[in-house]
């Protein structure tokens, strides 16, 4: 037994040292070719175009090349994923259909796709966009996918796009399907609108010099309108694009310091949702009408005012570290801390950067200490708890909707009606002392009393309207931090997953990417210590 535990401990140590930092990133920059503009001579000006009618977008995926690169089972997996994504975009976006004449030679030359299906001449008579997925073995292990438009009309409306997929993706994890759905929704969004080609050609952005450095902002009308509502700030010049993280991140994703959790940030994150701000960008292209229902799940910086956009995430006064935004940023390293949307467990994760941190991003007396998300300007935020190193059956093990249950014996429930709480509650009939953790509880929003009803085992705890801490509620020992009712009970139709929201709302109203682990020995001393104790036993 001791030898087995020692072997397991050595495997953990090797993993920790070999993978000090791991991320799944978007590789859109790897598709270098700019989209080809198709002339007006290829556009068929039929009645559908002249009617100005917007109808749900129709997207066709040509699997011909992909089918030659992967097994049948993997092909069927991707077909299922793309089928679902097309359904989601069909619910989110409507377009004015235009018949366009294309041919095989055009796709060969401008999309670099040599293997395509039959009937290409009619594809853009029956559809609004054609997608060509393929496996690209040149991507490194951090890049799972890349995408870009390859064919556009004269006004830059996309009608053809490429989606490259890393062959290292594993679809045998328990949550591979929702993970890949969100990843490929991100990539298709690059084809549809979220790309520097569109930002520049459609005049959606501005560049401003601040302290000697150029920053790029999306300043289109709807984006600003939705951002003012979300942040509760009347003075917004635009939403900044990412300025860190290398070529694959800069300028083609939202700046995570302000948009952490939106599915169009540059690195994958457990709490990935669609924001109204991103949907507004689709509308500002002029190509789409948008169904703006997102369940209100994007809660990062919600209603925090202009100070959230203009002040530092962490401040230090008289050697006292503090934050004005306790739902979004944290100051105590290792403390259990739910994500801003409360749909995933996590901890306040920080690390020391050997190369140091630029002065304007230093928040602590230790000038090398910062949050794990470099793209969030080193601001410390919620991230996966270290315990998940042993749960490699999941991409999102801490997600309250489809993650791994850790605390079932004390009332944790993973499911569609669960949210994350920072809690040390233990039922009175259970032995042991209260220990704080981030944990997923089943909840219900009482819209009349404005309370959050939390179900823990067979008992219920009533969380009041305003953010507060309850100590030793009836039937329990310990504490629970209750989030603000208006923050987590914002859905017209209850949903805690962005895809779930699309499906529920669209059915009611319409008839028609890295995850990043920092497993350094310094950060995980207590885990190694625990394993050593187990070995001694």
DSSP string, 372-386: S-GGGTT---EE--G
This prediction's pTM: 0.88
* Residue 268: inside a domain: no
Q: Tell me the average pLDDT of the chain.
A: 85
- Say how far apart CA 462 and CA 166 lie, in whole Å: 46
* Residue 530: inside a domain: yes
CATH code of the domain containing 440: 2.30.34.10
Classified as helix, coil or strand, 313 is coil
The predicted pLDDT at position 501 comes to: 79
450 plus 418 within the same structural domain? yes
The predicted pLDDT at position 81 comes to: 95
In this structure, what token pair is assigned to residue 183? Answer: 């990843």
Question: Are 75 and 117 a contacting pair, CB within 8 Å?
Answer: no
* Residue 467: inside a domain: yes
* Residue 353: inside a domain: no
For residue range 132-190, what is the model confidence (pLDDT) as tens digits? 999 998 887 778 899 999 999 999 999 999 999 998 777 788 888 888 999 999 999 99
Domain count, the chain: 2
- Say how far apart CA 454 and CA 497 lie, in whole Å: 18
419 plus 474 within the same structural domain? yes
Range of the domain at 6: 2-13+519-536
pLDDT class for 396, splitting at 50, 70, 90?
Answer: confident
- Say how far apart CA 120 and CA 233 lie, in whole Å: 49
Query: Residue 22 class from Cβ within 10 Å (0-12 exposed, 13-18 middle, 19+ buried)?
Result: middle
For residue range 180-239, what is the model confidence (pLDDT) as tens digits? 999 999 999 999 999 999 999 999 999 998 887 889 999 999 999 999 999 999 999 999
* Alpha-carbon distances, residue 535 vs 2, 12, 520, 521 (angstroms): 5, 13, 21, 18
464 plus 525 within the same structural domain? no
* Residue 361: inside a domain: no
**DSSP collapsed to 3 states, 387-420:** HHHHCCCCCCCCECCCCCCCCHHHCCCCCCCEEE
Average pLDDT, integer, range 499-524: 48
- Say how far apart CA 341 and CA 294 lie, in whole Å: 13
Element (H, E) at 205: strand 205-210
- Say how far apart CA 328 and CA 332 lie, in whole Å: 13
Question: Are 174 and 149 a contacting pair, CB within 8 Å?
Answer: no
The predicted pLDDT at position 534 comes to: 41
Average pLDDT, integer, range 462-490: 92
461 plus 525 within the same structural domain? no
* Residue 523: inside a domain: yes
531 plus 467 within the same structural domain? no
415 plus 491 within the same structural domain? yes
524 plus 448 within the same structural domain? no
For residue range 361-373, what is the model confidence (pLDDT) as tens digits? 999 988 899 998 8
The predicted pLDDT at position 468 comes to: 92
For residue range 79-100, what is the model confidence (pLDDT) as tens digits? 999 999 999 999 999 999 999 9
The predicted pLDDT at position 142 comes to: 78
The predicted pLDDT at position 95 comes to: 96
* Alpha-carbon distances, residue 377 vs 95, 288, 357, 398, 436 (angstroms): 37, 32, 10, 23, 28
Question: Are 8 and 531 a contacting pair, CB within 8 Å?
Answer: yes
* Residue 78: inside a domain: no
Strands, DSSP E only, in 117-181? Answer: 129-135, 143-153, 158-165
* Residue 418: inside a domain: yes
415 plus 487 within the same structural domain? yes
DSSP 8-state symbol, 316: E
């Amino acid at each position: 037994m001791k030898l087995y535990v020692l072997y397991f401990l050595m495997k953990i140590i090797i993993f920790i040292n070999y993978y000090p930092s791991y991320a799944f990133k978007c590789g859109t920059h790897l598709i270098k070719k700019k989209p080809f503009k198709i002339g007006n001579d290829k556009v068929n000006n039929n009645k559908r175009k002249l009617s100005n009618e917007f109808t749900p977008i129709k997207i066709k995926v040509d699997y011909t090349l992909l089918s030659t690169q992967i097994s049948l089972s993997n092909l069927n997996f991707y077909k299922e994923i793309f089928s679902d994504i097309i359904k989601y975009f069909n619910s989110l976006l409507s377009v004015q259909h235009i018949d366009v004449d294309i041919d095989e030679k055009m796709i060969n030359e401008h999309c670099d796709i040599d293997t395509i299906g039959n009937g290409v001449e009619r594809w853009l008579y029956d559809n609004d966009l054609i997608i060509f997925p393929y496996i690209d073995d040149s991507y490194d292990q951090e890049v799972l996918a890349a995408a870009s438009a390859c064919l556009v009309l004269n006004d830059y409306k996309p009608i053809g796009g490429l989606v490259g997929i890393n062959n290292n993706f594993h679809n045998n994890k328990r949550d591979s399907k929702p993970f890949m759905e969100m990843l490929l929704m991100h990539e298709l969004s690059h084809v549809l609108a979220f790309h520097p080609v569109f930002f520049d050609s459609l005049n959606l952005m501005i560049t401003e010099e601040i302290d000697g450095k150029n920053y790029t902002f999306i300043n289109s009308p709807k984006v600003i309108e939705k951002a003012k509502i979300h942040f509760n700030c009347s003075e917004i010049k635009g939403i900044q694009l990412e300025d860190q993280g290398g070529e694959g991140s800069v300028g083609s994703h939202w700046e995570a310091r302000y948009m952490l959790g939106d599915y169009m940030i540059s690195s994958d994150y457990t709490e990935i949702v669609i924001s109204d701000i991103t949907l507004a960008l689709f509308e500002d292209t002029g190509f789409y009408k948008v169904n703006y229902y997102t369940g209100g799940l994007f809660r990062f910086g919600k209603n925090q005012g202009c100070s959230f956009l203009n002040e530092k995430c962490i401040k230090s006064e008289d050697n006292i570290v503090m934050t004005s935004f306790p739902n979004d940023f944290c100051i105590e390293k290792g403390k259990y801390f739910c994500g801003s949307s409360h749909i995933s467990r996590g901890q306040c994760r920080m690390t020391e950067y050997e190369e140091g941190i630029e002065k304007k991003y230093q928040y602590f007396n230790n000038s090398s200490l910062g949050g794990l998300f470099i793209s969030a300007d080193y601001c410390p935020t919620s991230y996966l708890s270290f315990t998940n190193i042993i749960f490699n059956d999941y991409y999102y093990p801490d997600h309250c909707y489809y993650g791994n249950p850790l605390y079932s014996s004390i009332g944790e429930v993973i499911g569609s009606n669960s949210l994350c709480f920072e809690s040390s509650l233990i039922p009175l009939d259970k032995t042991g002392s209260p220990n704080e953790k981030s944990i997923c509880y089943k909840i219900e929003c009482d819209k009349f009393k404005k309370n959050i009803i939390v179900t823990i085992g067979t008992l219920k705890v009533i969380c009041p309207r305003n953010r507060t801490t309850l100590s030793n509620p009836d039937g329990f020992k310990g504490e629970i931090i209750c989030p603000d009712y208006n923050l987590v009970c914002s859905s017209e139709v209850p949903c805690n997953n962005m895809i779930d929201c699309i499906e529920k709302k669209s059915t009611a109203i319409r008839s028609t990417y890295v995850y990043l682990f920092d497993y350094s020995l310094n950060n995980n001393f207590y885990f190694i210590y625990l394993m050593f104790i187990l070995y001694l036993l």
